[in-house]
Amino acid sequence: MSDSGSAKAADIEVIKACGGIAQTNCWLIADTKARQAVLFDAPNDTTAPLLDECEKRGWDLVGLWLTHGHFDHIADHAVVTSRFRDAKLLIHRDDLDKITGRYPMIFPLPFVIPPRQPDGFLEEGQQLQIGSIPLRVMHTPGHAAGHVVFHLYQHSILVSGDMIIQGSIGRTDLPDSDLAAMRQSLKRLADLPEETTLLPGHGDASMMVHELQQNCFLQDVLQDR
């Protein structure tokens, strides 16, 4: 999978954009046969090229599905839904305060994120589809109380947000972070097939087998088993 371009397998296409003040990733995943797509996360000043791609290819963007509600993952939400009005914004209920603007400001920002209510909530075990591509939601608290990941199990892909970042893990020193919960969530993710491709919230894509072998943070967690 090339981070600079796109990767095809069967009727799935994955395209990455990275930017914003925290160099955050967003991932566009489409069922090219069904011409349906979902955007995962929305960093500031980053989503427009992916929205352009949807329009160019005639894909119907049906969702903005958020791994969690930290500012660098939600800032462009209004940009997305103003261009694709049928795109449903989904987030876990435990991160509702972040999208509605009730979460305390941690860092001063050079832009304003308009508050809004989500169109629906993500839950543990929830089954969703992008066209004919099935995926399962896993609630993985630790980095954020409402952090989730999206497992596209038929394609061995995990949209992993800020859980596992190549060679590292998401930070646990934020107001609603929880190191103990993070460790339990990481143990769950480590049980996924080794061939799973990880699409993280920051940095390059990786594979579970590489992280199990090389990620000292993940190895430390697994020693408790």
Q: What is the DSSP string of 32-47?
A: TTTTEEEEE---TTTS
pLDDT in tens, the chain (225 residues): 334 344 444 599 999 999 999 999 999 999 999 999 999 999 999 999 999 999 999 999 999 999 999 999 999 999 999 999 999 999 999 999 999 988 777 778 888 999 999 999 999 999 999 999 999 999 999 999 999 999 999 999 999 999 999 999 999 999 889 999 999 999 999 999 999 999 999 999 999 999 999 999 999 988 876
| CATH code of the domain covering residue 158 | 3.60.15.10
CA distance 30 to 36: 6
The pTM of this model reads 0.94
In a domain, 160, yes or no: yes
With residue 213 as reference, give the H or E element that holds it: helix 208-214
In a domain, 87, yes or no: yes
191 DSSP assignment: T
User: What local confidence, expressed as pLDDT, does residue 223 receive?
Assistant: 87
Give the CA dihedral 201, 203, 204, 205, nearest 10 degrees: -20
In a domain, 59, yes or no: yes
Which residues lie below 8 Å from residue 112, measured CB to CB, with a gap of 6+? Answer: none
Tell me how far the alpha carbon of residue 153 is from its chain's centroid. 15
Q: How many domains, the chain?
A: 1
In a domain, 1, yes or no: no
Q: What's the start-to-end Cα distance of the chain, in Å?
A: 31
Range of the domain at 34: 6-222
In a domain, 184, yes or no: yes
User: What local confidence, expressed as pLDDT, does residue 7 receive?
Assistant: 46
In a domain, 21, yes or no: yes
With residue 217 as reference, give the H or E element that holds it: helix 216-222
- Pick from 95, 147, 138: nearest CA to 118: 95
CA distance 27 to 200: 9
Place of tokens 């427009």: 48
- Phi-psi region for residue 131, left (φ > 0), alpha (ψ -120 to 50) or beta? left
